DNA sequence: CGATTTGTTGGTCGTTCGACAAACAAAGAA
DNA sequence: TTCTTTGTTTGTCGAACGACCAACAAATCG
């Protein structure tokens, strides 16, 4: 069916991008609908007509975020030939993303709504779910390394190692938020990768 | 001087503790003065008379938080005999604190106000400053290890190692917030400590 | 008692929310 | 051209909420 009636005068993708920028900077609760309407260049009535509620809009924003800023780390995991290289490249891609000069210095998924008013519990849990996916994705990549033969099933356990690197990724966001630069993040990544060989080899002696 | 006039009917310390609990659960912006007045059992006017503005109250709350929940990790750093034991014990104390059944499963210092509305910039920077102190405190402890002789000045640099463990501490908060239990945090800590020996010994071969 | 301090009630003043309504403008389809 | 759809502007509307404060009532001391 062809589009009847008056076509949209604003581009929903552009508007969504503008909403993303604002949510990114101020978090979910810190952003009001009026702020959004102003930034998107449309009336709040149009926001409701096109995107639904504030929460609906935010969920769409997060989908866009995942396919843009979230993509480089995910691609690193996917395309690097070994599990080790994949983890290292993912950490670096993350550091690159959260120190870009044109965007806030942190991962939106992690800091947009960690706590808040009771009525926004659903939003927080939505984000928590996405964060848990991070852990799963990393763990799957490690498992692939075992399948591929570049990683010997480590004694520490895939789950623990995946959780460790997830923790580092999430900690990096706080570091960048608090002013750490790309160089400082790289130093943290180097430290995190120093654990790799110990974690993925058969223990010759027990550590404490 | 003896107390003149009508004595207080509420205990400021108790009220502060109740304010702490609420700020901890909902974050800075997610907590309204009405919420606070209700939880503290006093009228909002009494809050102003006794504690000053919302921001003043929050700063006093954070001071209390630092001397209560913040103390075990700090004590671990202080009292353990070696730098390595200090870092390990600090991580464990942190994990203990953020998985207590009677409090929210995260560090308030890290998640109470990472982002938010423009007008609360001062509060965010106040917290960021306290977080930067974490890094400094850890770094100082490592330096003490060098002085004490239990730690050889590591090639990675004290600053980098301190930042790495600060990053882990901060990442643990997100993990616990998202549902990771004490056991899972322990596994992350084990991974983080696996990096220690590599980081604090002379490199036999260059890593990537 | 009278001075002093505290707590309460009620209110300021401003903003926000989502919802909804009317009236008009614009653009394309039949 | 006429109908249909979409969008805009503007407004209402109430209810709620935000931080904050002034006037009054209460309690205890010297």
DSSP-derived secondary structure for A53-88: SHHHHHHHHHHHHHHTTTHHHHHHHHHSSSHHHHHH
Q: Judge whether residue B34 contacts strand C, using its CB and a 7 Å cut-off.
A: no
Residues 6+ apart with CB under 8 A from B23: B31, B58, B61, B108, B112
Q: Which of A34-48, A64-78, A103-117, A169-183 has the lowest mean pLDDT?
A: A34-48
User: What's the pLDDT score for residue A3?
Assistant: 56
Q: Which of A106-120, A138-152, B71-85 has the lowest mean pLDDT?
A: A106-120
Contacts of B166 in chain A (CB under 8 A): 171, 175
Instruction: Say whether the ipTM exceeds 0.85.
Output: yes
pLDDT tens, chain B, 208 aa long: 456 777 888 888 999 999 999 999 999 998 988 888 888 888 888 898 899 889 999 999 999 999 999 999 999 999 999 999 999 999 999 999 999 999 999 999 999 999 998 889 999 999 999 999 999 999 999 999 999 999 998 888 999 999 999 999 999 999 999 999 999 999 999 999 999 989 998 554 444 4
- pTM exceeds 0.90: yes
Chain B interface disruption, residue of A21, A107, A135, A178, most B CBs within 10 A: A178
CB atoms < 10 A from the CB of A182, how many? Answer: 14
In the predicted structure, residue A5 carries a pLDDT above the cut 90: no
**Structure letter (DSSP) for residue A10:** S
The answer to whether residue A2 scores a pLDDT higher than 80 is no
Chain B residue numbers with beta carbons less than 8 Å from the beta carbon of A132 are 178-179
Distances (CA, A) of A6 to A3, A10, A51: 8, 12, 18
As a rounded value in angstroms, the CA-to-C1' distance for B52 and D28 is: 24
- Contacts of residue A14, Cβ cutoff 8 Å, sequence gap at least 6: none
8 Å CB contact of A106 and B88: no
Residue scoring higher pLDDT (A82 or A118): A82
**Residue A118 — very low, low, confident or very high, per pLDDT cuts 50/70/90?**
confident
Q: Return the exposure string of A42-72: e unless at least 16 CB atoms fall within 10 Å of the residue's CB, then b.
A: beeebbeebbeebeebbbbbbeebeeebbeb
């Amino acid at each position: 069916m062809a589009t009847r009636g008056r076509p949209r005068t604003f581009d929903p993708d552009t508007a969504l991008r503008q909403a993303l920028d604002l949510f990114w900077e101020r978090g979910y609760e810190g952003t009001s609908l009026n702020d959004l309407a102003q930034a998107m260049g449309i009336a709040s009535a149009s926001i409701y007509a096109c995107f639904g509620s504030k929460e609906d809009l935010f969920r769409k924003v997060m989908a866009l975020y995942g396919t843009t800023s979230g993509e480089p780390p995910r691609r690193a995991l996917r395309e690097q030939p070994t599990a080790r290289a994949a983890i290292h490249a993912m950490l670096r891609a993350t550091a690159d993303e959260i120190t870009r000069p044109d965007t806030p210095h942190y991962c939106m998924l992690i800091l947009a709504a960690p706590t808040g008013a009771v009525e926004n519990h659903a939003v927080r849990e939505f984000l928590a779910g996405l964060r848990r996916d991070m852990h799963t994705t990393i763990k799957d990549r490690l498992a692939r390394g075992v399948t591929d033969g570049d990683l010997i099933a480590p004694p520490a356990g895939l789950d623990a190692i995946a959780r460790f690197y997830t923790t580092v990724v999430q900690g990096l966001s706080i570091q960048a938020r608090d002013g750490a630069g790309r160089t400082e993040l790289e130093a943290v990544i180097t430290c995190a990768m120093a654990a790799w060989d110990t974690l993925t080899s058969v223990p010759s002696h027990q550590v404490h």
